[in-house]
Amino acid sequence: MERILIVSYLPHPGMRAELLKLLKAQTVRCRELGLLDESVRLLGEGTHGEIIYIVTIRSSADIDRAWEDPIFADIDSQISTVARLVLFQSMSEAAGSYVDLASLPIREPH
């Protein structure tokens, strides 16, 4: 069964563009590995600069496969140097009955 993965990051000062670049690289790698379905990934931004990454993965086993891939893991390691993970529910936008985020443009290779 497909899984929807939602991850929220707070980029370190001046590192927003680098974080977006690395999230794109992870998406490209997952597509190369055949782990993502055909839906478009989504990026949003919270009022305090949080970046929300939403992607549909083919199965829970594919989440594990991504982490087992050394290239994916290396990109994730790079992400940890430019941003920190934040609890989604800690965002002010997550306090209501729906989440309203600024949409960020997505450009993926076809």
- The pLDDT of residue 110: 43
The total domain count for the chain is 1
Q: How does pLDDT run across 2-19, given as a tens digit for each residue? A: 888 889 999 999 999 999
Q: Are 33 and 79 in contact (CB under 8 A)?
A: no
Residue 7 lies in a domain: no
Residue 98 lies in a domain: no
Residue 8 lies in a domain: no
Give the torsion through C-alpha atoms of 58, 60, 64, 67, to 10 deg. 60
Q: Which structure tokens are listed for 10?
A: 């707070």
Query: Domain of 79?
Result: 15-93
- The pLDDT of residue 63: 86
CATH number assigned to the domain comprising residue 47? 3.30.70
Q: What are phi and psi of 79, to 5 degrees?
A: -60, -40
Residue 60 lies in a domain: yes
Q: Which structure tokens are listed for 81?
A: 């140097």
Q: How does pLDDT run across 46-100, given as a tens digit for each residue? A: 889 999 998 888 888 888 899 899 999 999 999 999 999 998 777 777 777 788 8
Please give the model's pTM, rounded to 2 decimal places: 0.84
Residue 5 lies in a domain: no
- The pLDDT of residue 109: 46
